[in-house]
Chains A and B, each alone.
Chain A
Amino acid sequence: MSLLEISALTKRFGGVIAVDGCSLSVADRSITGLIGPNGSGKTTVFNLVTGFIPRDSGEVRFKSRPIAGLGPDRIYGLGIGRTFQLARIFPRLTALENMLVPVRRAGLRAVLSHGQWRHERERAMEMLDFVEIAHVAGTLGGALSYGQRKLLELAAVMMAAPELVLLDEPAGGVNPALLERISEHIRKLNRQGVTFLLVEHNMSFVMNLCDEVVVLHQGKAIASGKPKAVRENPAVLDAYLGT
């Protein structure tokens, strides 16, 4: 069953068609990779799905419900979290405070409730522990290393228990040891029922981690399937090698 369905999604920036009638689906509880050459529209698809930019046409459905046109906060509230290409955290808040910012289905009572607050702190510390950065809970985000920021961003997005998480280049600028840790965290969370859609250029990372891969080229999905099959698809080789 598909958790996320994108059909005929289109986005133009002036004369450039960044996403051109793109259709793809993300199976529930899968780790799906979205790959493609630079400029193929991967991040634009992320921004369209998460409501950061409005679509020109097409449809996005999450759990069969149309979500195109909703704002990023509403979309997060429905259960879609995302990370950014360059890890974005709140630099003047501590790591623990960063964890406590996410709001999902909050409502006034939850925003003001102190009981919920305590419960959230416990969960935040558990999540920091899970990604092995609990020791920097009291450190300001701006003082963390890039790797710690990556882990903090992943942990923070999980705070509101999203069903689907979109990861924009989780392996970007990360050393091999940390990359292995990130893969392991993603696998563990996936086993707990979280679905992932990730954009990545590191092919070995994608091929090892993903159950399904979708290839974008010039704003269109040109292939999808198991990693091995996609790797051998002639259309994909054409797109990457430009033959």
Chain B
Amino acid sequence: MRGNFLPRVRWRVGRGPLKLVGLLGLAIAALLLPFVAPDPATTNIAVFTVMYIGLATAWNIMGGYTGYISLGHAAFFGFGAYGLGLMLVHLNITPGYAPFVLVPVAGLLSALLAVGIGWIALRTRAATFVIVTIAFMFMMQLLAENLVKVTGGGGGLGLPYSHDWGGDFFNTPYYYAMLLLAVLGLFVSWWIRRSKFGLGLLAIRDDEDKALAVGVPTRAFKLTAFVISAALVGMIGGVYAYYVTYIYPQFVFDPLIGISMVLMAFLGGLGTLSGPVIGAVLLEPAQLEFAYRLGASRLYLVFYSAVFLLVILLLPRGIVPSAAELLNRRRARTVVS
């Protein structure tokens, strides 16, 4: 029953320092991880987990705050991946740290694409919006497959990679790049949630017509959230492309990537800051493990659908809101007794 703009209530006193210590601990653990567990198998899982923290957080800025469920965010992931890949190939960028400088450009390209897609898709609501975003994602996939002269088509696009990085170190720069983008996504999400803009987005989620009636410029707000979300996803797509060094249309404009970020945000808690992080930390390592063990049969997809069903049935609001409600109930019971 309590929200963000509350006057301080008693049980919250003293939680601040604890939260700060917890966050500091998590930050130190995240920063030291490649030194503590440098083997490539572990850092590879870390790269993908942090990547999905960033993706789910970025998706949440649109889907969680406004309630507009985009299942086509892989379009921006793929566009960022191809954007960075093509820049590296055509601009003859020396592999190493230099390509990371171009990651914001990949984000900018995805943001521009989002202006176009959002301009059209955001004229629709609810299920229609979901379908339109999926359609755009497949259009991008088809374009990447058919513009052979530009993208290499189904044959894929190879990116240069640094031969100086080897062994245990190879994954480390990508890990920190992904971590930086995840932190950027979290900061942007936190800042939006605290701003009047963020409150407008939440109002749109609750009742868009009412939001219009109290002056919220809903189209501008939705488009801004969509573009910010897409820019972050595009940057992450760029780093992903540089990490895997070879990209194919069906693996970057991949509906599974789009669905994964949604599922993680749902599992953790839509519209919350920590929900997408928790969802990604729980699901991505599990997904990698299942894909590793059952990959050839793609049976891991069964695991994914089972998780999705369980979330919808048992935790429709996600872990964070359900846990908060449980805590509040316990506290209320303690106060009564």
Contact = CB atoms under 8 A, between A and B. Distances in A.
B9 to A, nearest CB: 7
A93 interface: yes
A72 B200 CA distance: 15
Interface of B: 1-7, 9, 195-197, 199-200, 202-203, 205-207, 209-218
Contact of A76 (B9, B197, B203, B214): B214
Contacts, number: 111
B209 A112 contact: no
B199 A97 contact: yes
Nearest to A113: B196
4 smallest CB-CB distances across A and B, nearest first, come from: A76-B215, A94-B3, A90-B206, A102-B214
Nearest to B196: A111
Contact of B206 (A50, A93, A139): A93
Interface string A97-113: 10011111010001110
A28 interface: no
A140 B3 contact: yes
A117 B196 contact: yes
Interface of A: 50, 52, 71-73, 76-77, 81-82, 84, 88-94, 96-97, 100-104, 106, 110-112, 116-117, 120-121, 137-141, 143, 156-157, 159-160
13 contacts: A52-B209, A84-B213, A92-B205, A92-B206, A93-B199, A97-B4, A100-B199, A101-B200, A101-B211, A103-B217, A111-B195, A140-B1, A160-B214
Contacts of A106: 196, 215
A149 B103 CA distance: 48
A157 B196 CA distance: 16
Given A94-B2, A111-B196, A103 B215 contact: yes
A196 to B, nearest CB: 16
A72 B196 CA distance: 19
B7 A138 contact: yes
A106 B199 CA distance: 13
Contacts of A81: 213-214
A129 to B, nearest CB: 13
B1 A143 contact: yes
B203 A93 contact: yes
Contacts of B203: 90, 93, 101
Nearest to A117: B196
B205 A110 contact: no
Nearest to A71: B212
Interface centre among A73, A100, A117, A160 (most CB of B within 10 A): A73
Contacts of A143: 1
A102 B217 CA distance: 10
Interface centre among A71, A88, A90, A141 (most CB of B within 10 A): A90
A104 B210 contact: no
A138 B206 contact: no
Contacts of A72: 209, 212-213
Given A84-B213, A101-B199, A112-B195, 11 more contacts: A73-B215, A84-B210, A94-B6, A96-B5, A101-B200, A101-B211, A103-B200, A112-B197, A117-B195, A117-B196, A138-B9
Contacts of B212: 52, 71-73, 76
Contacts of B218: 73
A90 B195 contact: no
Contacts of B214: 76, 81, 101-103, 156-157, 159-160
